[in-house]
Chain A
Amino acid sequence: MAELEAVIGLEIHVQLATKTKMFCGCELSFGDEPNVHTCPVCLAHPGVLPVPNEEAIRYALQIGAALSCEIAPRSIFHRKNYFYPDSPKAYQISQYDIPICGAGRLGDVRIHRAHLEEDAAKMIHVGESGRIHGSGASLVDFNRGGTPLVEIVTEPDLRDAAEAAQWARLLRETIRQLGVSDVNMEEGSLRVDANVSVRPAGSEELGTKTELKNMNSFRFLQRGVEAELARQRQLVENGGTVEQETLHFDPASGSLTSLRSKEEAHDYRYFPEPDLVPLVPTEEQLREARESLPELPVQRIGRYEEMGLASDVALTLATDPRTAGYFENVVEAADGIEPRVLANWVTGELAAALRQAEVDGGAADSRISPPDLAKLVRMVGERKISHGSGKRVLAAMVTGGGDPEEIVEREGLAQMSDSGELEAVVEKAMADNPDAVEKIREGNGKAIGAIVGAVMRETKGRADGGEVNRLIQEKL
């Protein structure tokens, strides 16, 4: 049997951080007392009408621009009809066959569409399970009802669970940097569902998919998709077939339970929302959306890779625009030092020093100015101080700030070069470690570490590692 290939697509709901709800003037909130942000419109009193939120439309256009989507010249809203207490009108106003954003792309994944809709109210099921089945009572909080959402649907372009989680991180970062959503998965302002199927490797046809819900972290997304892929692979390998259904992933037990099968799927009786007129973005709105875009993570990654940064370092910086800005200031101040080296200092040594010192905030908020960091890196590069000393200087700068040259001076950290002083220390270390010397002579290169370590201890890290090695070899 041919190997089975995973085919994964994602559906992402993004709660927009607008001031008010999608179709009424109620304030958006999180964590407030239940049912205080409501009005006749979002409680669906008789006779009310929806009025679209201009800010939400602007945000949707920005998301569309960031995902390189085609923007529909005229999109329309539909009603999605269903009875449930979280939907006071008994229909959700959503976009259906003509979404505001059509085909687009983010990184390697094609976007199928992105559309505007309103969020449902929040249901709280009283009881142990926290789910509707088996609960004694259910409470409804309409504060969330009517919150603007953009639903982004990808093409099934992802091929494993880790890739899906990584791409979802990139999407979250992209939207976060647009400033249109809090993208907090735990609070539900970013919700990811996955459509999962398998097919024989090389096949063009799509297998029957299942839809996975309730994965409220990227880790759970990855684990949920892994679990479902394992289930489908086992099923197919044992001659079974995958049934189309919606599954609930329980991160605690790692189990998947069926929410509804294809037969139980709702007939939502979609039809065009007669209370709203078509959405026709003006040229000016479209231009504003394009011009409002900051440099987005994918673009930043590309630029950094061209500067010679390793892709993981480029990704780290791209997902942290403030640190990235700091890094770029260091590059400018360093004038000629390889950006790759500087990036490693910013994301490696400096980040570690900040963590160690338990300093809140990132590099950009630290007491180390970009020119000072550049100066420090240059001193290490020119072997004025050792790498180890550089880290000690950095630790001092993190807590007290200051000029690295002065700190080197004050702490006596200037590099021991090949003067007689270093030579004497090396000789002593070799004399103190005859076993290691013997082993090196027998061809065990690793044994040199013991001697280097002794030298570093003696010199408090001021010795240059390369020089120490050279001297040991010379004296063998």
Chain B
Amino acid sequence: MTDLLQMTALEAHEAMVAGDLAASEYTAAWKEAAAGDDLNAYLWRNEDGEDSQAIAVERDCVAPIAVKDIFTTEGVPTTAGSRILEGYRPPYTSTAVRKLLEAGAPILGKTNMDEFAMGSSNENSAYGPALNPWDRGRVPGGSSGGSAAVVAGGLAPWAIGTDTGGSIRQPAAFCGIVGLKPTYGAISRYGMIAFASSLDQCGPLTRTVSDAALLLGILQGKDPCDSTSVGLDGGVSLPDREDLSGLRFGVPAELGGDEYDSGVRAVFEQTLRKIEELGGEIAEVSLPSSEHGISAYYVIAPAEASSNLARYDGVRYGMRAGGDGDLVQMYETTRSEGFGPEVKRRIMLGTYALSSGYYEAYYGQAQKVRTRIAEDFSGAFAGVDFVVTPTAPSVAFKLGEKTDDPLAMYLNDFFTVPMSLAGIPAISIPAGLAAPEGGGPQLPVGFQIAAPAFGEQKLLDAAYALEQGIGFDARPEGL
């Protein structure tokens, strides 16, 4: 049984296609593993007897998958980590989940997340935080914390999440797995509960780069239900590149070193040397506007969120409170009780940023910064193939460590937000271990590689070669 769980999703897929592995046996093993969730990583699991149409499988040859609880799945509870959607069972299935089901991947369960994907620690979940399998006293990152925790914690072979400003990459880094945020438009957003529509993108959280490629190939594609989707021309092939010769990796000159922990810095520099060993070239690039990324992001994302979350009013579905009074009182009570503090903070920030008289100074200005950041990347990619940074400024921090300091929490996105604003693909792969500042057992450190828009194949190929070169094989204790 344990052997089954050690296989990567790709290995299992190949074994099932070859007829060497029975899908039912493989899926049953994972269901059993998922049932042992002691990380609060699943909000709903596909238990036997609770099968619904939404989890029917046409073709049993793709590994079962954990899905962030932000993807609507017909008849299956979908909360987006929020109290306001408690008990909500959507009447339709998201394109991403539909594609997984059509490919023959059973849904193992829905994973915990920061409420409406707002957060970097999973502590904003209305259902309590998922825990980091490396150290249960620490956060798994966020917002796709549950998806990262199940993959790293042996509760699912792979998972999907969403990334708005780093919500796939940062938890992948904190949990020592691979996380890919594809180009904006590569995967349909239909049925992916919106946080910030112009930034949200679905992506894989996997143990290996090859698994990420396999999953991306299933998920990508233009969707008539999403006008902003375009898909990836030519699809995705499994990566097989063995070295990095002829490739140039740009390190932003603006990366001073103050922004991140020394342990993270050591792993980052060691990884740059590994790139050179593999024949790659390290160059300096300039991304002068990136330092304003966080500021721009925390205007644009809340602005869009303030509008996207306005539909949760207690009228048509989900939670309703204060229904005895008048309409406005019902709206206010429902939203006051249904949303958590971080969501309310961002709704207020966003509402303010869009208000008459402030729009130009905030939203308009932030959009200009966004354009500059995209131009910075275009400029950089004229000279290099990839831009590389640490994924997060630190290793996984302790539960409660940053909950009282929203700004410190927001700075977790420092390295990931610029790519989101530019709409370009970026992957985080585990690059090594480092002790947290202040001491303690060693924890995973992620290495981020970003590529030009729609450069997924090249990105996966390079990440694969680097992954093989690094040979990261540390696992949480007991796995």
Contacts and interface: CB of A to CB of B under 8 A. Distances in A.
Interface of A: 40, 43-52, 79, 81, 83, 85, 88-91, 138, 140, 267, 269-271, 274-277
A271 B307 contact: yes
B: interface residue count bin: 35 or more
A271 B189 CA distance: 20
A270 B228 CA distance: 20
B163 interface: no
A276 B228 contact: yes
Contacts of A269: 306-307, 351, 354-356, 359
Interface string B309-332: 011110111000000000110010
Contacts of A271: 303-304, 307, 354, 359, 363
Contacts of B328: 83
B355 A267 contact: yes
Is chain A's interface secondary structure helix, strand, loop, or mixed overall?
A: loop
B315 A85 contact: yes
Nearest to B92: A40
B94 A47 contact: yes
B316 A49 contact: no
B72 A83 contact: no
Contacts of A47: 70-72, 90, 94, 189-194
B190 A46 contact: no
A48 B308 CA distance: 11
Contacts of A267: 355-356
Contacts of A85: 315, 327
Nearest to A43: B316
A90 B304 contact: no
Contacts of B228: 49, 274-277
A81 B197 contact: no
Contacts of B197: 274-275
A89 B354 contact: no
Interface of B: 70-72, 78, 80, 85, 88, 90-92, 94, 189-194, 196-198, 224-228, 303-304, 306-307, 310-313, 315-317, 327-328, 331, 351, 354-356, 359, 363
Contacts of B227: 49-52, 275-277
19 contacts: A44-B311, A46-B78, A46-B85, A46-B90, A49-B189, A49-B227, A51-B224, A79-B307, A81-B354, A85-B327, A91-B310, A269-B306, A269-B359, A270-B359, A274-B197, A274-B228, A274-B304, A275-B194, A276-B227
Interface centre among A50, A83, A270, A277 (most CB of B within 10 A): A83
B350 to A, nearest CB: 9
Contacts of A274: 196-198, 228, 304
Nearest to B84: A46
Nearest to A268: B356
A378 B227 CA distance: 63
Given A47-B72, A267-B355, A89 B225 contact: no
A46 B310 contact: no
Interface centre among A52, A274, A275 (most CB of B within 10 A): A274
A275 B197 CA distance: 6
Contact of A88 (B90, B189, B196, B311): B311
Top 4 closest pairs, chain A to chain B, by CB: A90-B310, A274-B198, A274-B197, A269-B354
A46 B193 contact: yes
Interface centre among B193, B310, B351 (most CB of A within 10 A): B310
A88 B355 contact: no
Nearest to A91: B307
Given A140-B315, A269-B306, A276-B228, 13 more contacts: A44-B316, A46-B80, A46-B194, A47-B90, A49-B228, A51-B227, A81-B307, A83-B310, A88-B315, A91-B307, A271-B359, A274-B228, A275-B197
A202 B316 CA distance: 54
A269 B357 CA distance: 10
Contacts of B317: 45
B317 to A, nearest CB: 7
Contacts of A48: 92, 190-191
B313 A83 contact: yes
A40 B303 contact: no
A48 B90 CA distance: 11
